[in-house]
C-alpha cells in the first residue's frame, strides 16, 4: 500500500528579506509544498493598511519563490497573508491546506545530514512515513536522535527499541539502511535540558526534524520548543504536526485531511491559487 505524499508548509516572511535557499528548494522538490508568504503587522496597523501598501511587492517575491520551485519540478501552492498573529496564521493555513509538517526557515548550504529527533510518545509509523517521503529522494544521512529526559520521567519504551522500530519502519519504506545512524543521549548525565542537547546536536547537522509538542501552559509562556530550536540554531527545522504524531496506527480515526486516498491527494495538490 502506498501512502499519499505528505505536504509541507513553508512560511516565508517575504517582506523581511527571508527567502528559501537554493539547496533547500532542490531538496524539497520531490514533495508538494505550500509556500505561505506572510507579513506580521503590529497591532497599531490594520492588516488591510499593510496590504494596501505592500501587496504587490510581497506577491512578486512569492511568485519568484514559486517559479524557483517549479524550475526544479516541484509542486507548489502559494498563499499570501497579512496577519497580526503569525502562529495563528501558520496553524490555520496548515489545516486548510492539509499540511503534515511545517518548515521553519534558516539558510541551508547543502543537505547532507538530517537530525531526526524521536520522542517516546509518538506514532513511529507516521514519522517514518513522513521522513521517508520527504528525505527518501535525496541522498542524506538520517540520524535518529533520542534524548532520555531523566530517571524521574517514566519512559514507556526502551530507547534502543524505540529507535530500532523507527529504523525498521524507515527501511520498510525503502530507505537504504546505510543512510541511517542513531544516537541516544542521556539528559541528566550531561546536565543539560533536552532542548539544549538538541540545539547542540543540531550544530553538526544541516536540518532538524522535530515533533510539535502538546500545548501546555509552559509553552504558552516560553514558546513552543520547536520554535526555540529554530531561533537558536542555524538549521532549518521541520516541525511535524501534532495530528501526525498522534495518529492511530489504523489511520482512520482522528486523521488529518491529508490522509485521504492517493488519487484524491494527487489531484488536490497541484493547482496554484489564481
Rounded least distance, CB 96 to another protein, Å: 9
By C-beta, is 50 or 207 nearer to another protein? Answer: 50
Sequence-distant (6+) residues with CB within 8 A of 45 are none
Work out whether 17 is an interface residue with another protein (CB under 8 A). no
Cα 79 from chain centroid (whole Å): 18
Cα 235 from chain centroid (whole Å): 12
108-127 residues in contact with another protein (CB under 8 A) are none
By C-beta, is 87 or 190 nearer to another protein? Answer: 87
Sequence-distant (6+) residues with CB within 8 A of 176 are none
The span from the CA of 78 to the CA of 59, in Å, is 10
Contact 198, 184 (CB under 8 A): no
By C-beta, is 33 or 81 nearer to another protein? Answer: 81
∠ at Cα 239 (238, 244), nearest 5°?
120
> Which residue among 1, 17, 44, 178 contacts another protein (CB under 8 A)?
44
> Which residue among 55, 176, 203, 266 contacts another protein (CB under 8 A)?
55
Closest CA to 66 of 79, 55, 53: 79
Residue 36 CB-half CA count within 13 A: 29
Work out whether 271 is an interface residue with another protein (CB under 8 A). no
By C-beta, is 23 or 95 nearer to another protein? Answer: 95
Work out whether 48 is an interface residue with another protein (CB under 8 A). yes
> Which residue among 18, 21, 23, 59 contacts another protein (CB under 8 A)?
59
Work out whether 45 is an interface residue with another protein (CB under 8 A). yes
Work out whether 40 is an interface residue with another protein (CB under 8 A). yes
**Sites of contact with another protein (CB under 8 A):** 40-55, 59, 79-85, 88-89, 92, 273-274
Amino acid at each position: 500500500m502506498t501512502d499519499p505524499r505528505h505536504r509541507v508548509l513553508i512560511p516565508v516572511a517575504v517582506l523581511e528579506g527571508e527567502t528559501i535557499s537554493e539547496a533547500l528548494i532542490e531538496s524539497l522538490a520531490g514533495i508538494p509544498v505550500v509556500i505561505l508568504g506572510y507579513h506580521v503587522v503590529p497591532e497599531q496597523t490594520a492588516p488591510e493598511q499593510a496590504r494596501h501598501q505592500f501587496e504587490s511587492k510581497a506577491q512578486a517575491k512569492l511568485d519568484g519563490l514559486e517559479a524557483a520551485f517549479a524550475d526544479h519540478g516541484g509542486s507548489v501552492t502559494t498563499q499570501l497573508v497579512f496577519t497580526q498573529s503569525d502562529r495563528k496564521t501558520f496553524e490555520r493555513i496548515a489545516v486548510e491546506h492539509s499540511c503534515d509538517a511545517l518548515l521553519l526557515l534558516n539558510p541551508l548550504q547543502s543537505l547532507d545530514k538530517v537530525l531526526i529527533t524521536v520522542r517516546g510518545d509518538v506514532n513511529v509509523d507516521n514519522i517514518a512515513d513522513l521522513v521517508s517521503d520527504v528525505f527518501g529522494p535525496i541522498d542524506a544521512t538520517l540520524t535518529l536522535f533520542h534524548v532520555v529526559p531523566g530517571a524521574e520521567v517514566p519512559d514507556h519504551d526502551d530507547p534502543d527499541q524505540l529507535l530500532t522500530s523507527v529504523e525498521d519502519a524507515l527501511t520498510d519504506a525503502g530507505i537504504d539502511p546505510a543512510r541511517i545512524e542513531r544516537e541516544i543521549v542521556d539528559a541528566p548525565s550531561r546536565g543539560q535540558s533536552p532542548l539544549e542537547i538538541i540545539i547542540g546536536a543540531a550544530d553538526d547537522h544541516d536540518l532538524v526534524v522535530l515533533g510539535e509538542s502538546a500545548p501546555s501552559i509552559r509553552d504558552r509562556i516560553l514558546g513552543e520548543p520547536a520554535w526555540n530550536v529554530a531561533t537558536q540554531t542555524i538549521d532549518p527545522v521541520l516541525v511535524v504536526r501534532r495530528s501526525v504524531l498522534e495518529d492511530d496506527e489504523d489511520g482512520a480515526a482522528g486523521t488529518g485531511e491529508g490522509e485521504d486516498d492517493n488519487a484524491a491527494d494527487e489531484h488536490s495538490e497541484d493547482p496554484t491559487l489564481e
